[in-house]
Structure 1
Amino acid sequence: MKLKLVPGGAETPEDRAAEWAVRMDSRDLDDAEFAEFDEWLADASNQEAFDKASDAMALFDGLDSDLPELAALREEAQSHSASPDRRWVPWAGGALAASIAAALLFFQAGEVSERLPGAPSQVVDAGTAPLAGQAVYKTVVGEQRTVALADGSKVTLNTGTEIAVDYSPRERIVRLVRGQALFDVAHAADRPFSVIVAGRKVTALGTLFEVRLDQNRLRVTLLRGRVRVDEQPAATAATKVPAPTFLSPGEQFSLATGLAPVVQSVDVEQQLLWRQSLVEFDDAPIGDAIAELNRYSAKPIVVRDPRVADMRISGIVKTGDADSFTALVGAMLPVAARKNERGEVELYHTP
């Protein structure tokens, strides 16, 4: 997913406020633009919208000003804002989602091939002893680590993940106990590499793939090579084991409780944003976005008001920073944050 400015109508005060904020962040206004801005700002509703947009922009002060993604966005804002007959805003979609995206979409996801060599800061070497043995690797909430296994394979563990590695002379088995992991498998035709998870066995065929286990859902996403997904005999009472499922690059096997498995094409770039400490939402309910962000934070956000939970947002946000997320939401939507009686950060609706 490549971030770019797209033509829009700038029909609401919030839209125009975001446009002005991006334009003024990218360069100095000329005299004609200052006059236009002052005239627009004279309306009280416009002033309020611009204050919110400015607050949202200020939340990015902690970012590296030399980020190429931010520089590219500023450059494009400058080139398009000079056009007198076009309005340009940094989003696509409905006004509600757009108001958040205007504040959040200051990142650009690179190509998968460019991101894969980069690894989280902590790399653990599992050793180069004989290719047999058992070991357990874990991450706590908010932590990521890459484990270099004895056979040359690498496993990148996302937040709150646990795996158990069980190598023998005949096969390589990794059990995903919980969480999400990316497997970069070293080829060894005589010793198959398999991940055991939720009654399924995922066998690599020279492969880069990801497995995620949530409370009620399993997902297997293939990035390179080929994988085979088998239902293990112990997981079914049927006399005949179902046929295996083979995935091609860009496909995802998904299994939710009580539903039949589904295979579909997915945005692989989006699937790997977590390796960059980012997560993407595409017109997602705030309730779902919070559930995803809470995976990365020991300080969870809660929302009990369905009016807030059903509001929708789009954008790419940093993980593990609940305060910035709640501040951004509060700057752009009728939502505020407070500590409830349990000491939790709760989002609530404001008039």
Structure 2
Amino acid sequence: MRHTVPNLASSGEPDAAEWVARLQNRPNDLGLRRDFDSWLKADPANKDAYASAWDAWARLGALSDEPEILAARARLKAELAADQRRRARPQVRWAAAVAALVTAGGFGTALWLATAPSDHAPAVAPAQTAQAVYRTGVGEQKTITLADGSVATLSTDSVLRVTEWGARRALTLDRGEAFFQVAKNPQRPFVVTADGRTVTALGTAFNVRVDPGKWSVSLLEGKIRVADPAAHNSVDLLPGSRLEQQAGSTWAVAAADVAALTSWRDGSLTFDDQPLAEIVGELNRYSVRKIRIDSPRVAATPMSGRFKTGDVSGFVDALSAYGAAKVKTGQSGEIVLVSP
């Protein structure tokens, strides 16, 4: 399998191409992200150069539909089935499955697994006005560089509004999930409102998520204050902690693997000994075609690993190959998982 990658150096953009590669390989490196933001601001032409380099890189994402990739997946499925016959119902470990797929598919497949989907291309906001609205569809991701240099990354099916942009930098997450990397400015507080609660930061990196009946905040770096004005309640979070609240319950703050919770930014989801029902619920957020579990035993099956967002076919193929569930098609076209 041979794929041609454009020679970005010949178009005068070697720095832009190098930034694309670095950010893909180290998506959670906050120091690297700060250096990249400084590079963007150093020259107005850098934004256009980066957008062009990203487009060339993102085109590699189309490899997922090529015959070689599909054949690699089929070989993986056969290998998993053979392994299942040798062992008695092993726990599914996605890391091993992904490694096998990379080996089976070769260099092109490895690029496909490492490359973010084309709809992850960054959107640069050169100026900020109140009531600006940013949206993502199901399975889409969008990165927005705000006028002050802060960066907001929206996950699937999310809506973020800029509600004030003056002495205070204020945004509201109406739906979904967003990760914020805040440019320091003590004179201009950065405030995100979600489900009636506020998250205030000066210079930090944090994740906010709103679900039906639940909301949460996770902190990667710095310090934030979460407040509920209606309840006159507030709490300060430290790095590596997560605050979560179910409807009608009190706030719960605990240590968390925040890197895993925010792995959606590099196009993957990380699970650690979680019930299949919870995993399917998360995967369904990123796919138009939904998965439904029609078996309490299958729903309770614990699994671990890392999986590509939106790759429903690969997920159910592996479940079937391991004998963890049988796969059927529902009347409305959804994927139904039943007991094997």
Q: TM-score, normalised by structure 1?
A: 0.65
1:270 maps to 2:260: yes
What residue in structure 1 maps to residue 135 of structure 2? 138
**Unaligned ranges ≥5, structure 2:** 1-73, 101-113
Change (3 A) 1:304 1:135: same
CA distance in 2, matches of 1:201, 1:188: 18
Task: Determine which of 302, 305, 309 is the counterpart of 2:292.
Answer: 302
CA distance in 2, matches of 1:212, 1:167: 20
Task: Determine which of 88, 99, 104 is the counterpart of 1:106.
Answer: 99
In the TM superposition, what is the alpha-carbon distance from 1:314 to its structure 2 partner? Answer: 1.3
User: Which structure shows the bigger proportion of residues in helix conformation?
Assistant: 2
Task: Determine which of 162, 166, 178 is the counterpart of 1:181.
Answer: 178
Task: Determine which of 184, 196, 199 is the counterpart of 2:196.
Answer: 199
SS in 1 for 2:280: helix
Task: Determine which of 284, 299, 312 is the counterpart of 1:322.
Answer: 312
CA distance in 1, matches of 2:95, 2:224: 39
Q: Counterparts of 1:171-250 in structure 2 under 5 Å?
A: 171-233=168-230, 236=231, 241-242=232-233, 244-250=234-240
The aligned length equals: 247
CA distance in 1, matches of 2:244, 2:90: 27
In the TM superposition, what is the alpha-carbon distance from 1:133 to its structure 2 partner? Answer: 2.5
In structure 1, what residue type is equivalent to 2:304?
A: S
> What RMSD, in angstroms, separates the aligned Cα atoms of the two structures?
2.7
CA distance in 2, matches of 1:335, 1:271: 26
In structure 2, what residue type is equivalent to 1:174?
A: L
Change (3 A) 1:277 1:337: same
Q: Which digits, 9 at most, give the CA deviation of each residue in 1:296-344, with x for residues without a partner?
A: 0001111122122122211111110111100100110242211122221
CA distance in 2, matches of 1:96, 1:214: 33
Change (3 A) 1:53 1:259: farther
SS in 2 for 1:325: helix
The answer on whether the counterparts of 1:280 and 1:316 sit within 8 Å (CA) in structure 2 is: yes
What residue in structure 1 maps to residue 154 of structure 2? 157
CA distance in 2, matches of 1:57, 1:191: 56
CA distance in 1, matches of 2:317, 2:292: 14
In structure 2, what residue type is equivalent to 1:123?
A: P
The answer on whether the counterparts of 2:328 and 2:337 sit within 8 Å (CA) in structure 1 is: yes
What residue in structure 2 maps to residue 333 of structure 1? 323
SS in 1 for 2:140: coil
CA distance in 2, matches of 1:125, 1:177: 21
Percent same amino acid among aligned pairs? 36
What residue in structure 2 maps to residue 124 of structure 1? 123
CA distance in 2, matches of 1:259, 1:104: 39
The answer on whether the counterparts of 2:130 and 2:165 sit within 8 Å (CA) in structure 1 is: yes
**Unaligned ranges ≥5, structure 1:** 1-51, 60-88, 90-94, 108-114
What residue in structure 2 maps to residue 254 of structure 1? 244
In the TM superposition, what is the alpha-carbon distance from 1:163 to its structure 2 partner? Answer: 0.4
The answer on whether the counterparts of 2:181 and 2:206 sit within 8 Å (CA) in structure 1 is: yes
In the TM superposition, what is the alpha-carbon distance from 1:190 to its structure 2 partner? Answer: 1.4
The answer on whether the counterparts of 1:120 and 1:275 sit within 8 Å (CA) in structure 2 is: no
Q: Which digits, 9 at most, give the CA deviation of each residue in 1:167-196, with x for residues without a partner?
A: 332211110001110101111211111001
What residue in structure 2 maps to residue 279 of structure 1? 269
In the TM superposition, what is the alpha-carbon distance from 1:269 to its structure 2 partner? Answer: 1.9
Q: TM-score, normalised by structure 2?
A: 0.67
Q: Which digits, 9 at most, give the CA deviation of each residue in 1:136-169, with x for residues without a partner?
A: 0000000001011111111000111110012332
